[in-house]
Structure formats: C-alpha cells, structure tokens
Structure 1
C-alpha cells in the first residue's frame, strides 16, 4: 500500500512538551478515510491527548483489528509500537503483549463491527480480565468497508440510507463493560473534542481496563436523517453526564442551570447540544445507579455522554494473577526454566 507522506517542513516555533516533542511528532501518515469521517476527529483527539500527557511515543503500543476504525492507528503516533491484528482479535493480542511487557502504555482502537460482532468474545474477556489498556471503539453503527450493512450496535429505530429497518436490538458496549467489571467506562462524540480529549487522557492514566465508546458518524453510509449515529442526531440528542475539564480555544461558552434540569447550548460552530446536569443524589461510582440511568436515557432516545462509570479500586490483570514486577520479556532463562523439580511439583498438583 502506498502512503501519501506528510510534508516534513514545520514551523520552527511549534510548542514542545517535556519530551521535546511537538504535536506534529504525535501524528502519523495522511488519512485515506472519507473526507469528514468522524474517525479522523478521534485521531486528532488522540494526538492532542498524547501531546498533553507528554507521553514518550516509543513507550506506547497501539493495537487494532480490521475495519475503517482499525486503519486509524496508522494516522497517529508514527514513532510508537504497533500491531494490526486480524478481524476481531485485537483484545487477545493486546492481552499477550501486556503480559509480556507491562511497562508500555497500551492503546487499542477498534470499531463496532470489530468489537461487537466477530470480536465480541475477545472484547468480553479483555474486559473481565481487566487488561491495563485504553480501548477506544469508534462506533458508527455500520460496516463502512463493506458498503453500509448494519452492525450489532445499530439502534433498532435507526434505518439505513435506503430506509430499511434492522430487526434486532442493539448491543450497548458501555452497559456490557460496566457489568463485566471495567473500571473506567465513558461515551463521547467524535465532534466534541473538548469532552473527548480529557476522557482519552483519563483513560490512558487509568490502571485497569478503560473503554471509551465514541459515536463517530460514517459520512458515506450512516449519516442520513434516519440514522441515530449521524452528526445531526447526536448533536440534537446528546445529554452530557460530566466533563472532566474544559479548555476553550476561543471565547468561553457559559451555561447556568440547576441540578436535575437540562439546557440547550449553542456551540462555536452554530450547532446545539443539550446538556443534562445530574442531581445531587447521583453517584457515578455506583453501578446500581448508573445502569438504570443509562436505560432511561436510551428509552427517551437520548445519548448520554461523559464519564459514565468509575471504579476507584484500580486493579489490572497483573495484580489479579500475581505476575512479577519485572516485564516477562526481560526475565532471564534461569528464571524461566526452573528445572525438573519445580515442574514435577506443578504437574503433581494437577493430578
């Protein structure tokens, strides 16, 4: 495959972080996705988050599977490690890599087909094993590479561009992840960089399995008026549960409304988003509270975005199974081959 190379020229006064890197250093090759694809906005948010976290790019491992979303790992962190697995198998590859070297930062990017269909078994076990990684699902409710078939996350009320219905209920990845033991679960919109960047930063820093389900409209096959994954629908039905922080690049937008009420806020581009402020009784760390709340939003046809669930008891796979502190790929042969005595004792224990 031939890639279009980005120009090497850059302004000599670009801001650098503590690693001596600019935002350009966290980019990859030029995207070959459709113009306006929400996935490119997610890529831009990842670049910004990694720059702000001042991550050394060579200490990051980016993982992906198959699909439009899985192509995006080529568009950021050009100097990091990377592995593009077969369809739906990214979670198991990420698990093996994490067990071998726990000192890298693991960032997985997948899609709704790669995650919720062929890869759902892999996804489920990565969550329940609490693999220490940030798993971003770029969710557009459709198979973009194969010309627009429904995916398993497509809402039953959402027709395709030809007006056809889906006979099946959708899979909600956030609800599933919370029930399976993920410690950090969030949902965002590719067009809301102010919300998405802080969520990515927090997910990378979380110790354990972190999921961000990003509604990322497919401009070619699933951005029509009857789609619940379109730009127009999400902007009109977005109910923001929380914002980790707020950094504006232009005049600050302010909104003042009481807990338990909603407000329509006009953004800089003229679009509107509806914000719902949770009342004081809401506990974001209580699974019994958040799951019914998410169901109420769904029943009303609304998209709840923000940090949906947080388990403060951070724990990852290495703690659960008691691996050594030293990365397994650095352990010498004498420790890996203890001799026939310990091996005989292990075999005897299983008889």
Structure 2
C-alpha cells in the first residue's frame, strides 16, 4: 500500500474564482479505517473551502488528539496547521487568533477531545466567542483505544462489545447553546448536501461557530444497538430545514412556496437560506433551539441542521478591543509608543 497521493487530476476539473481546482485543497491520503465518517467530513471541508474560493494559506487548522484530530492531515495540505495536546486545542487556537486575526481558524476535535479531557477548554472558548469554526466529529467512542464508550455515548447504546452504556450522555450541541455559542449546528457525516453549506455559513460567521457532526466509527461503534451507527442515524435523523449558503451579491432564488423558509442575512451581506423550517424552531431564538433539541431527544430523534445563529455576533477581538492588525505587522511606534504613554497608563491604574 502507498500513502503518496497521485498528482494527476483530470484537466477538465472545475475551477473556483481563484483558478484553483479541489486539488489545491486536498491533503495526504487518509490512514483512517475505510468507511470512517471522519473522511466524509474532511471531504466536506475541502468542498466548502473550494466553493468559497478561500486561498488555502489563509486558513489555520488546529486539532488535539484522537482519530478526529488526525484529519487535518487529510485536508487543506497548503494551509497552516497545529496538532496540539489532548483537549488543549482551544488554547492554541485562542493564542494564534489573538496574534493574527487575519487568518480563518478551523478547529477539529472529537467527543473525547472536547467532551472529556478538553471540556474545560471547550467551555471557555465558547464563553469568549472566539472567531473560529469548531467541528466535533462525534462517534460516541474512543476509537484510538479500542472503542470504549465516550462521554457522548447515549444511555443504553451498545458498542461492539455488546454492553449497554449506563450513563447519560453529554449533548454537545445542547451544551454549546446553553453556554451562549453564537452559531450552533448539528449534522451527519453522510449528509454532505447539508454539511457543506453549514460549514460555509460557519466560516462566514463572525464569532464562535460550532458544528456537532455525528460520524459513525465503522470499527467499534457501527453495530446493531449503537445509537451512533450509520443505520440508526439515518433512521432517526430529523432535519430542521433544507440549508443553503448564498454568497455575497448572489441572487437568492427558490422554488418553494412563500412562508416555508427564511433568509438569514450575515454581517457581510451573504445569506443562510433555510427552507421548510421545523415547526418548533426559530433559529434566532436560543430558547426555541434548546426546546427543539430536547423535544427531538425525547422522541429518539437526532435533530440536524442550523439550530441557532446570532447574526449580530461580535467576536473576542471586538470585546477586548485588540489591535485591528496582526501583531507581526505592527511597527516600532505601535509596540513602543514611548515613556509618556506608559506614564499615562500607570496613572490610570493608581
């Protein structure tokens, strides 16, 4: 077996506005298990960035430890990247973002990396509304250590060992809503038609954008009795709406009847277009989203789609009034303004 990707691509591949094909957004060949849902998520990230015509060098991808945290190797090979300590990706993302606000930050994590050892970090990156996309590849088990139940495994769900999980799960989307995340979505790795526009909208959102993606583990948690298996998720998935992301200045057209959907205008004039909204969901209302999520859970359904968005969100840079330029672009005068300025600052603190 070879792990070197062929450089040949069909000469007729479509190009985006930068003149790039999807080749420029690919990474190394995946070494994950064949059929792993994580690879489908990587493919959705590649497609979303290609369609948005984002130059790969403008993206910084970050991860922790786990099967999910290996995936940045498999997409955006020409982007900046940092594989951090287990559960500590949010700290690295925060430091990098504070130093260089000009990059687009994409954090990839798993249910162990975020819901267990990294829970404290996950909580605080939401609280600060860091401007980043945070994707959790959620399979309900620890795939790297032979499939033990993770903190997101549903009560009663059976892993490959056949033992029912006795504990209540941590609902990542519900937790993000409760903690005040300004963009919360949930999807399924096997539904690229929904996931790709959600990733696009998350990239465009000015603040913390969280996407919880159910991503079945084909080796340890894809058996009868598992609530994170392909069959179970497909049978119990309930979409909030048909989702589309409409770029800036592109005309919005729809074949659906009036009143069945809504257009959410983003800060830069682009739109998230939702068709046929769930009856009990208002994507502008956090409480409505929490109730819809709980109602779906009570019916053993997995609610997918855009759950909540605050289109007026302001990120951490705005909150703490940082420099509007990346730190490495600041000169001597900005970094060392002189003793009189220092005396004024000290005087305010006396």
Same fold (TM over 0.5): yes
What is the Cα deviation at residue 166 of structure 1? 2.4
Q: 3-state SS of the aligned residue for 1:41?
A: helix
> 2 CA distance for matches of 1:246 and 1:56?
19
TM-score by length of 1: 0.88
> 2 CA distance for matches of 1:9 and 1:188?
32
The alignment status of 1:10 with 2:9, answered yes or no, reads: yes
Deviation larger for 60-69 or 5-14: 5-14
> 2 CA distance for matches of 1:246 and 1:103?
22
> 1 CA distance for matches of 2:184 and 2:345?
38
User: What is aligned with 1:152?
Assistant: 151
TM-score by length of 2: 0.88
> 2 CA distance for matches of 1:11 and 1:231?
32
Q: 1:305 to 1:340 in 2, by over 3 A?
A: same
User: What is aligned with 1:55?
Assistant: 54
User: What is aligned with 1:91?
Assistant: 90
Question: Which segments of 5 or more consecutive residues in structure 1 lack a partner in the other structure?
Answer: 248-253, 260-274
Measured against aligned partners, the alpha-carbon deviations of 1:289-343 in whole angstroms (never above 9, x if no partner) come to 1212211111111100000111121211111111121112211233223445544
User: What is aligned with 1:291?
Assistant: 290
> 1 CA distance for matches of 2:102 and 2:307?
27
User: What is aligned with 2:105?
Assistant: 106
User: What is aligned with 1:165?
Assistant: 164
Q: 1:246 to 1:317 in 2, by over 3 A?
A: closer
User: What is aligned with 2:226?
Assistant: 227
User: What is aligned with 1:316?
Assistant: 315
User: What is aligned with 2:251?
Assistant: none
User: What is aligned with 2:270?
Assistant: none
User: What is aligned with 2:37?
Assistant: 38
Q: 3-state SS of the aligned residue for 2:213?
A: strand
Contact 2:205 2:311 survives alignment (8 Å): no
What is the Cα deviation at residue 347 of structure 1? 5.1
Contact 1:137 1:214 survives alignment (8 Å): yes
User: What is aligned with 2:119?
Assistant: 120
Contact 2:129 2:181 survives alignment (8 Å): yes
Q: 3-state SS of the aligned residue for 1:306?
A: strand
Deviation larger for 11-20 or 86-95: 11-20
Q: How does 1:269-280 map to 2 (within 5 A)?
A: 278-279=278-279
> 2 CA distance for matches of 1:121 and 1:349?
34
Q: How does 1:249-264 map to 2 (within 5 A)?
A: none
Measured against aligned partners, the alpha-carbon deviations of 1:130-174 in whole angstroms (never above 9, x if no partner) come to 111110100001000001011111111212222213232111111
Contact 2:293 2:303 survives alignment (8 Å): yes
> 1 CA distance for matches of 2:86 and 2:349?
35
What is the Cα deviation at residue 350 of structure 1? 5.1
What is the Cα deviation at residue 15 of structure 1? 1.1
User: What is aligned with 2:66?
Assistant: 67
Q: 3-state SS of the aligned residue for 2:184?
A: strand
Q: 3-state SS of the aligned residue for 1:304?
A: strand
Measured against aligned partners, the alpha-carbon deviations of 1:221-261 in whole angstroms (never above 9, x if no partner) come to 111111111000000000000122299xxxxxx999x98xx
User: What is aligned with 1:268?
Assistant: none
> 1 CA distance for matches of 2:210 and 2:173?
8
> 1 CA distance for matches of 2:164 and 2:349?
53
> 2 CA distance for matches of 1:32 and 1:289?
41
Contact 1:39 1:69 survives alignment (8 Å): yes
Q: 3-state SS of the aligned residue for 1:296?
A: helix
Contact 1:243 1:307 survives alignment (8 Å): no
**RMSD of aligned C-alpha atoms?**
2.4
User: What is aligned with 2:250?
Assistant: none
Q: 3-state SS of the aligned residue for 2:217?
A: coil
Contact 2:137 2:213 survives alignment (8 Å): yes
Q: How does 1:184-263 map to 2 (within 5 A)?
A: 184-245=183-244
Contact 1:98 1:104 survives alignment (8 Å): yes
Deviation larger for 56-65 or 164-173: 164-173
Q: 1:169 to 1:28 in 2, by over 3 A?
A: same
